[in-house]
Chains A and B, each alone.
Chain A
Amino acid sequence: MASISLRNVTKTFGGNVQAVHDMSLEIAHGEIVCLLGPSGCGKTTTLRLVAGFEGPTAGELWIGDRLVSSSRTLVPPARRNLGMVFQDYAVWPHKNVLDNVGYPLKVRKMSRSRIRKRATEATALVGLEGLEKRYPEQLSGGQQQRVALARALVAEPEALLLDEPLSNLDAKLREKMRFEIMDLHQRLGLTLVYVTHDQAEAMVLSDWMVVMNRGKAVQVGTPWEIYRSPSSPFVADFIGLANFLPAQLVERNGQQGIAEIPAAGSQRVECSLASEPSGSLPVPGVLFVRPEDVELSSEGEADIEGTVTRATFLGARLDLRVDVGGAEWRAEAPPGADIAQGQAIGVKAQRAIFFEKEEQTDGETADA
């Protein structure tokens, strides 16, 4: 078991593609950390830097107290003692399950009987007992994924790296595997770096996570912190559902303030500030409100009212779109609520974060 430390790591391809930019992370023993971000943001490259398939253009990478990568040194992947699960499984088609799983031990020149014993144990650990003699072509996608997992675990690596390991599985299986991976992590106490573009997966798994965009770590924190207090509109938009309401900051008191929403009859909303305002009040910007933080009330009970333009039943809740003075608010209600399209409804933003104007143009919004 070991910690992993990235210190100002940058990776540039072909002189101009900056895949990873000045990334610093300190991952302690036994933590699960997710790298989350839209496709092409540099997650795989970061993981491959840790694995040693790529060397950094600048910066240093440490595993435990060993410097493994810098612009001058590069310990080859074979000597890093890591386990890795690839997005496409990479289970070898010419080896059966047991030979796939036992390969890391064979390379370490273990005796045949011990390889057999430990590979069988690892195979059982991922729930594949009885399939040891099968070849990959006789296995389902989920089973191949488990083989890949067992192979990555069998040699008791310093850390386990997973690159979107569940993205090729169907939704049900994905959910199941998610919990199995958590379970394994708890039992074995592994350090785990997990790449995904699926925010739900990251939320479930992570001790803490890294939201990436265009090669940069834009926010680092626990799932709760990131969900509740996104540091930029990009993060707010990428994780969960978000309302962005044009607003003005009219009062300020330290990290708190009051903003007015012009489209909603200048409703005044208490909010926290994402950053120091750069100019003097009033400051133009957007107010970020989660749908579940929009308080709904019956007609006539609230200051501000809108019209329900769409009510969609989503099983666990009712998803609402409400037109408030020309702006669309997303809100939610319990599934059985008696709310119909076209009905007037009172809205109030309960908990909000204010982002200054520049930040929104600066932070690219992602299609989550």
Chain B
Amino acid sequence: MNRVLAFARAPFDLLRSPTLAGRLVGLAAVALLVVLTAFPLGVLFHRSFEREAQLSLQNYVEVFSAARNYQPIWDTVKLGLWTVLLAAVLGVPLAWVVARTNMPRRRILENLCLLPYMLPPFIGAMAWIQLLAPRSGYINQLWMSLMGTRDPLFNIYSFGGMVMVMGFYSFPFVFIAVRGALERMNPSLEEAASICGARTLRVARDITVPLVIPSIMAGMMLAFLYTVSNFGIPALLGMRARIFVLTTRIYAYILRGDMVGIQLATALSVVLVGLAAIILIVNRWVISKQHGAAIISGKSVRPTRVELGRWRYPFALGVYAVVGLMVLAPIVALMLTSFLRAWGLPLRWANFTVRNYEYILFEFPLTRAAIQNSVMLALVAASAAVVLGTVLAYIVVKTRTRGRQAVDALVTLPNAIPGTVVALAMILAWSGRFGINLYNTFAILLVAYLSYYTFYAFRNAAAALAQVHPSLEEAATISGAGSGAVMRDVVIPLIRPGMLAGWLLVFAPTLRELTISILLYGPYTPTIGVAVFDLQDAGYFHIASALAAIIVVVIVGINLVMRKLLGGRARAM
């Protein structure tokens, strides 16, 4: 409530900016933020308590009384918990291997572990379908012919399949958090234990593990939020098995298109946001109970590494086999399928072709329109997000505007909310009820992307601005530069790398966005994500794969550029 009050003061403070341009730009940015985010989310919340234009709890009553509504809540939690468990089982040991052993080629392993982080999970789901679809998946086929059986090894269209793929795509959160903690932990903490008489395993149990637990939990929490917000994996793997989670249930209700469906979707959305909020709060509480959670930070040290001795190479082989299967096998499957004449044909030289690529790039109207649209959307969204994000970051970091923390919170908020919910908020706010109808247009996609992704541009600009010492601006002012000139000649040049990184961080995910687009695209505005999803769902695996393969290559390329730009500090999306 305090934040809301403080936020209401922001316009007055911005009006006191020394220049007219400063006032206008500042006010416009904050106004835009309100229109993009606060208003639609407010509408969503309000509408969840509305039935036939009356304030009512009916939506929630129906949500918690019908199994088709509350079962997805339970399944979402279950999927989240199992996934997080798998993510920890994969992420913690891999982080340990990279940070604390002398296994050969650790940098390669590290990059492999970060790869799933940049790829969209729905493309991962597609690829795993190609490996483990019950009859036709490559691995299942191999299994059946090797074993001479007609029972597949594993059916990917199942709860277990969802957990597996979701785990493979969320373990990097745990990996990154734990690797950082293990690398920065002061080695003398562990040495102190061994001089006290504790042997290796005892040191790990008494010192290392307890000190890393807050990081493990932070990583698991991110993985949990990522999982419950995800749409692509449960949509491609779960719906066919009639397993619904919150995101896919909301999607199904919206597709139904009637009023009650929208109302229930709205209430479910609030439940989903509530679930995420509970996790955040519980996590914060648990971490606050841990002593020394903040101790691991700052300077990097020379960690003591476990010498694997003669087990070095066998160990490496095992680790690479697991990670290779997990990370590379699906990409290889995707690439192979993209060159097949048709899905299901045996992998023989005669069946390979580049026709699929020609088809999607030059012939098929859907994919051509999708590519055009997505490229356009990504370009405009990234550029607009950088402008908006930089202005807002300037207000938050460099001015004393009251309510600037609220601005910060409001930019960050949509990113903590599942894309499905953001999309629904856009539908509710911008389909005519308030005099503006953007439904089925390019604009509604753009507005939604901006609401959701401006955060990345904001965060990078803010980090860069925080590095610009006030005296640099003051020095320009004292030299006689006006505030425009200070911006142009001093501030912008100094934060340009941060802005560019922010641009790429918005461009890359919007280029292949699925979760929001699938609810907002219109007949003339398909996006790449939607096209891949629909083609895959309709069984045109080979065509979907070609488009997905292009996306994978482009995104990996963007990430390499970004890493150059930020000197290894960049963490891809």
Contact = CB atoms under 8 A, between A and B. Distances in A.
A82 B195 contact: yes
Nearest to A82: B195
Interface string B399-424: 00000000000000000000000000
Contact of A155 (B194, B196, B295): B196
B197 interface: yes
Interface stretch (A102-110, A214-222, A229-237): A102-110
A87 B192 CA distance: 11
Nearest to A104: B196
Contacts of A84: 191-192, 195
B389 to A, nearest CB: 36
A90 B206 contact: no
Interface in A299-338: none
Given A92-B189, A103-B206, A107-B202, A78 B197 contact: yes
A93 B181 CA distance: 14
A77 B195 contact: yes
Contact of A104 (B197, B199, B211): B197
Interface in A127-176: 135-137, 148, 151-152, 155, 161
B198 interface: yes
B149 interface: no
Interface string A53-95: 1000000000000000000000011111111101110111111
B290 interface: yes
B191 A90 contact: yes
Given A84-B195, A104-B197, A135 B188 contact: no
Given A94-B210, A94-B291, A136-B292, A78 B199 contact: yes
B486 interface: no
Contacts of A88: 186, 188
B191 A53 contact: yes
Contacts of A90: 186, 188-189, 191-192
A137 B186 contact: no
B196 A137 contact: no
A91 B196 CA distance: 12
B570 to A, nearest CB: 30
A95 B206 CA distance: 10
A92 B195 contact: no
Interface residues of B, number: 21
Contacts of B207: 92
Nearest to B214: A94
Contacts of A152: 195
Overall SS of chain B's interface? helix
B193 interface: yes
Interface in B169-206: 186, 188-189, 191-199, 202, 206
A80 B197 CA distance: 8
A24 B291 CA distance: 43
Contacts of A51: 191, 195
Given A92-B292, A94-B290, A135-B291, A76 B199 contact: yes
B198 A107 contact: yes
Contacts of B210: 94
Contact of A78 (B186, B189, B195, B290): B195
B8 to A, nearest CB: 38
A140 B50 CA distance: 57
A43 B326 CA distance: 47
Given A77-B191, A92-B192, A155 B197 contact: yes
Contacts of A81: 197
A151 B192 contact: yes
B182 to A, nearest CB: 15
A22 B548 CA distance: 63
Nearest to A48: B191
Contacts of B196: 78, 103-104, 107, 151, 155
Nearest to B295: A93
Nearest to A86: B188
A19 B199 CA distance: 27
Nearest to B193: A103
A236 B186 CA distance: 36
A350 B13 CA distance: 76
B226 to A, nearest CB: 28
Contacts of B198: 78, 103, 107
A61 to B, nearest CB: 15
Nearest to A103: B196
Nearest to B211: A94
A137 B192 contact: no
A78 B192 contact: no
B288 to A, nearest CB: 12
B295 A83 contact: no
Interface string B136-175: 0000000000000000000000000000000000000000
A77 B188 CA distance: 13
Contacts of B197: 78-79, 81, 104, 107-108, 155
Interface in A93-118: 93-96, 103-104, 107-108
Interface in B285-306: 290-292, 295
A151 B189 CA distance: 13
Nearest to B189: A90
A123 B189 CA distance: 19
A76 B189 CA distance: 16
B211 A86 contact: no
Contact of B194 (A77, A148, A151): A77
A93 B191 contact: no
A3 to B, nearest CB: 19
B290 to A, nearest CB: 7
A47 B292 CA distance: 28
A86 B192 contact: yes
A82 B191 CA distance: 12
Interface string A285-296: 000000000000
13 contacts: A77-B194, A77-B195, A78-B196, A82-B195, A84-B192, A90-B192, A92-B292, A104-B197, A107-B196, A137-B291, A151-B192, A155-B196, A161-B195
Interface of A: 51, 53, 76-84, 86-88, 90-96, 103-104, 107-108, 135-137, 148, 151-152, 155, 161
Interface of B: 186, 188-189, 191-199, 202, 206-207, 210-211, 290-292, 295
Given A77-B194, A88-B186, A88-B188, 19 more contacts: A51-B191, A53-B194, A77-B191, A78-B195, A78-B197, A79-B197, A82-B195, A84-B191, A84-B192, A91-B192, A94-B291, A94-B292, A103-B193, A103-B196, A103-B198, A107-B197, A137-B291, A152-B195, A155-B196
In order of increasing CB-CB distance, the 10 nearest A-B pairs are: A93-B292, A90-B188, A104-B196, A90-B192, A107-B197, A93-B295, A86-B188, A84-B195, A77-B194, A135-B291
